[in-house]
Structure formats: structure tokens, C-alpha cells
Amino acid sequence: MLVHEDEPFNAEPTPKVLGRSTLTPINAFYSRNHGPIPTIDHDKWRLVVDGLVDTPLELSLADLKSQFEIHEVVATLQCAGNRRAGFLAVADIPGEDPWQGGAIGTAVWAGARLVDVLAAAGLADDSADLHVDFSAPDVSELATPPQAYGSSIPLSKAMQTEVLLAWRMNGRDLPRVHGAPVRVVAPAYIGARSVKWIDRISVQTTPSDNYFQATAYRILAPSADPDQAGPGDGISLGPWALNSEILTPTDDGSVPAGAVAVTGYAVAPEHRRVVRVEVSADEGATWHDALLDEQPSPWTWVHWRTNLDLDPGNRTLVARAWDDTGTQQPQEAASLWNPKGYGNTAWPTKTIHVDQERGT
């Protein structure tokens, strides 16, 4: 793992590890934290469900596990800051970790559906313009003012069957670093909405006013001073955009000439599918369609691969994904750059050295 910070703990796997499998092993799953990882006594833990519900609930872990059907969802989580490193050539982004393309991972999550828990509290109508707010106990000194982490999702998303209160990950009890005893899994939304160590769910008329949602996870205007940003500035990040990354070869890597295997991942926005990924080794003069691996569910990335026949020399590989609306990723990181470095969905590039073929 590439550790960006020890406290709060922020780390991502290497591209090589990430590319090995469609399901990401727990020990290779990125970890994004805003404060110290809390230690929670599972026997004493309670989940409060309140706000605009008929019957507020207070559930123990045993209640949650026994009163609700367990469901599995294979889903990708991705940090809003994934691929921020690609912005740094445009302009510096002080105070934020330079995530490579590894702030993303895919796991089999299991737990109760959020919609089932909301129904038990007497909310079964998704037609209202409401929000489901999540609170956690991890206090962040990075917030202004320091506060426990929280965020929300629209009720319309909360009522979808893919949104879980998960206590299992890849068939094992959820590890502490990933939110034990219970975390939210809100597929196709930035990871910041999949709140770890959740202890309260509130149905309310407004989105979360927590610092991290109201002020932090936003695409500010390029000219904005992030230290002066106030609640509501910029584009609030929730559902994510079409994105892709090249995992092999790695940047600055050397490969023998001949058939060079190029692999990576792509993720589509919610409701959409990745339908085409192209790779170019000649500055975009020609493009080669990559083969798309099978997706384990509609809520995951798709891994892709192709072989390019490359002569010796230095090359820049570039990739771009398309979804089923005909949306193509924007080309230049410069056009997407923003002061907090979110949403780098520009075409990924890797500069490689193609050596003489082995044995020649």
C-alpha cells in the first residue's frame, strides 16, 4: 500500500495490485479517513433511526442482523479525490493527498438494505424530496469547526435496493478500518457518502450540513480560495462521473517491444454502463478498442485489457472510456482542475519506455 498519511490513515494500493482481480482483497482496499479510526464496543453499539419517520428505532447489532434480511451487493467504492495526482501538473493542491488511481476498490458487501430499515421505521414512500442523513463518531480536526463525520444521500437513492448497511466485506466481518461494526455502502456515489462506523440515520428535509458535505466535497471554481469557501459553494459531489485509469504498464515503466499488454479499469455513472474503452499509443492518431471484462454487478467498475504492438522508444499511452449515452471522458485535466482536486476524470496517460524485445 502507498500510505499518504498515518493520522488520519489514508492509503491506496499500487496499480499492479489493483489490477490483479475484479474483486479487491480487503488488505488492498483503499482507506480514506478524516479523523482517528474509532474503537467501538460492538455489544454497546446502537444505531438510531429518527427524524421524519413514524417510529424512531434504536437497534443493537444483534437487532440489525436478526430483524432484517441479509443481502449481498458487489459494488465499487471510489473516493472523490481518486486520481488527484493527475491535477498536480496543472497546479498544486495544498492540503490534500495526491491520490493516484488507487482510491477505488470493489468488494462483496453484505448487510441489511437501508430501504428495509427505513420501512421498519415507518417510511415507505420515496416520492418526497427528502434526504437520509448519516452520522458517525469519528471526529475530524480538519473540519471547520472540528466535528464528527457525516453526510447524506437523497431519499430517492436511499430507497434503492443497492444501498446497504453492511457488516460484512468479502465474506468476512467488516474490518475496523473499513467501518466496523456497520457502514453505509451507497454504490455509484463518492465514497464520502458511504459513511463508516455509522451510529445514526435521520430522515430530514435538507442535505447534510456537515462540513464535509456542505463545504468540503465540492468542485469549486478554479479561482476560488478553498480556505474561504462556505457552505453551498461549488458543485456538490454525490453521484460520480464516468472515469477510467490505466493500471499496467505503470507510469515510467519499461516493457519489452512487441505485444504490450495494457490494462485498466473504467467506472460509469449510476444508471449508465461503460460500453467502450479505447487506448492510443500515438497521441490519439489511432485508437484501439480494449476488451471489457465481465462486470460482477451493475454497481462495479469494469476491468479492460488490450495488447498493443509497440516498437522500441518512449511512448505515452492514453485511454478514454465511453458510456451508453455516448458520453466520453473529457480529455484534459487542466479543464477539470479545481482548488480541492476532486473529480479528475480526464483521459489517463502513462509514459513508458519500450525496450528492445527480449532475446533480440
Positions 255 through 274 that interact with a copy of itself (CB under 8 A):
269-272
Query: What is the helix (H) or strand (E) element at residue 118, kind and residue range?
Result: helix 114-120
Residue 275 interacting with a copy of itself (CB under 8 A): yes
Q: What is the distance between the alpha carbons of residues 324 and 272, in angstroms, rounded to a whole number?
A: 6
| The C-alpha cell that represents 244 in the structure block | 477510467
CA dihedral 249, 251, 252, 257 (to 10 degrees): 20
Residue pointed to by grid coordinates 449515452: 325
* Cα three-residue angle 200-206-211, rounded to 5 degrees: 70
Residue 317 interacting with a copy of itself (CB under 8 A): no
Interface mask toward a copy of itself for 43-62; x: CB under 8 A: --------------------
Q: In 3D, which of 227, 317, 310, 328 has the Cα closest to residue 272? A: 328
Residue number with CB closer to a copy of itself (6 or 285): 285
Residue number with CB closer to a copy of itself (37 or 216): 216
Residue 325 interacting with a copy of itself (CB under 8 A): yes
Residue number with CB closer to a copy of itself (146 or 284): 284
- Applying CB under 8 A, the site for a copy of itself has a residue count of 37
| The C-alpha cell that represents 347 in the structure block | 483521459
Q: Which of 75, 329, 341, 348 binds a copy of itself (CB under 8 A)?
A: 329
Q: Which of 68, 211, 240, 265 binds a copy of itself (CB under 8 A)?
A: 240
Residue number with CB closer to a copy of itself (248 or 329): 329
Cα-Cα-Cα-Cα dihedral sign, residues 246, 248, 252, 257: negative
Label residues 38-64 b or e (16+ Cβ within 10 Å = b). bebeeeebebebbbbbeeebebbbeeb
Q: From the CB of 169, what's the least distance to a copy of itself, in Å?
A: 26
Residue 332 interacting with a copy of itself (CB under 8 A): yes
Residue number with CB closer to a copy of itself (254 or 335): 335
Q: What is the distance between the alpha carbons of residues 155 and 162, in angstroms, rounded to a whole number?
A: 13
Residue 30 interacting with a copy of itself (CB under 8 A): no
Q: Which of 122, 253, 312, 330 binds a copy of itself (CB under 8 A)?
A: 330
Q: What is the distance between the alpha carbons of residues 246 and 105, in angstroms, rounded to a whole number?
A: 14
Residue type, 193: R
Residue number with CB closer to a copy of itself (205 or 335): 335
Positions 197 through 236 that interact with a copy of itself (CB under 8 A):
219, 221-222, 235-236
One DSSP character per residue, 45-62 reads -EEEEEESSSS-EEEEHH
Distances (CA, A) of 282 to 279, 308, 310, 317: 9, 11, 10, 8
Residue number with CB closer to a copy of itself (20 or 272): 272
Q: What are phi and psi of 237, to 5 degrees?
A: -90, 120
Residue 5 interacting with a copy of itself (CB under 8 A): no
What is the β-pairing status of strands 218-219 and 235-236? antiparallel
Residue 244 interacting with a copy of itself (CB under 8 A): no
Residue 297 interacting with a copy of itself (CB under 8 A): no
Residue number with CB closer to a copy of itself (13 or 238): 238
Residue type, 57: L
Q: From the CB of 59, what's the least distance to a copy of itself, in Å?
A: 29
Q: Which of 342, 348, 350, 352 binds a copy of itself (CB under 8 A)?
A: 342
Residues interacting with a copy of itself, by CB under 8 A?
219, 221-222, 235-242, 269-272, 275-276, 284, 287, 289, 320, 322-332, 335-336, 342-343, 345
